[in-house]
Amino acid sequence: MPAPHSLIDIGVNLTNRRFAGEHGDILQRAAAAGVESVVITGTDMASSRAAAQLCAQDFALPCYCTGGIHPHAAKTCDSAQLQQLEQLAQLPAVVAIGETGLDFNRDFSPRPQQIRAFEAQLALAARCKLPVFMHERDSHSHFKAIVKQYRDQLAGAVVHCFTGSRTALFDYLDLDLHIGITGWICDERRGGELQQLVRHIPLQRLMLETDAPYLPPRTMSPKPRNGRNEPAFLPYVLAAVEQHRPESAAQIAAATSDTARRFFRF
């Protein structure tokens, strides 16, 4: 395990059923690994509500959450849900709208519905004066065009789990977006492009996340037996980022945590 630095995990799917009944232990281990706080990802109304409830519990570290409807669930996004989301967003624990965006890789919801749900949530974030936590897969040009329309009204916007091309990265930086980096960068099979690109992200635009339980860092040895990622493994993401940037791990940890605190306004 890499040496502990104070880190903030900006994307943990703690309401995922793979963590059921273990929230206390998971967050205890995260705190022991140096994680100072986490942002729990909401992906539909049920998980956003569950995330807000977790934030109200007394765990080893402070928890915040996002509230939103993932592009996979966009087909369920109607005006009633958007109203409920706007109410949920009033809770102090809800620090961003999302996860929202476009996923033309898996297309679990029809694209026109993904676009409508994304635009509605960007408008909602602007009304609530909250930043947005965004997901983009294989949809760069549509995504860019939509974000551009709303960018001036948004308090802040992060492309979480960035895995895109050089063109996409520079387009997003031009739109003054933040970039979330996951254990994708630890993947020797498919993380090569990200390893080359991560040095081009200004340090003040960069944040770290596990996206747990997904994407366990492949640099871990031994690998978790259940194949499940958790926020305690965030130091492996930091270590991989350090390998591909000029700064020290301590500098990256301090800067990314500072950026996360300012972005989510905790």
Give the binding site for Zn ion (CB under 5 A).
135
Cβ-based neighbour number of residue 251 at 10 Å: 14
Q: Which residue is nearest to Zn ion (CB)?
A: 135
Q: What is the rounded (10 degree) CA torsion for 263, 205, 36, 266?
A: -10
Query: Which of 135, 205 has the CB closer to Zn ion?
Result: 135
Smallest gap from Cβ 71 to Zn ion, in A, equals 8
Distance of CA 244 to the CA centre of its chain: 21
Q: Which is nearer to Zn ion, 49 or 135 (CB)?
A: 135
Q: How far is the CB of 135 from Zn ion (least distance, A)?
A: 3
CB of 256 to Zn ion, least distance (A): 18
Task: Kindly state the smallest distance separating residue 175's Cβ from Zn ion, in Å.
Answer: 18
Distance CA 160, CA 174 (A): 16
Mind giving me the DSSP string for 52-120? Answer: HHHHTS--SS-EEEEE---GGGGGG--HHHHHHHHHHTTSTTEEEEEEEEEETTT-SS-HHHHHHHHHH
Toward Zn ion, which CB reaches closer, 34 or 180? 180
Phi/psi of residue 239, nearest 5 degrees: -60, -40
Asked whether 183 and 211 are in contact (CB, 8 A), the reply is yes
Nearer to Zn ion among residue 5 and residue 135 (C-beta): 135
Please report how close the Cβ of residue 25 comes to Zn ion at its closest, in angstroms.
Answer: 24
Would you say 115 or 249 has its CB closer to Zn ion?
A: 115
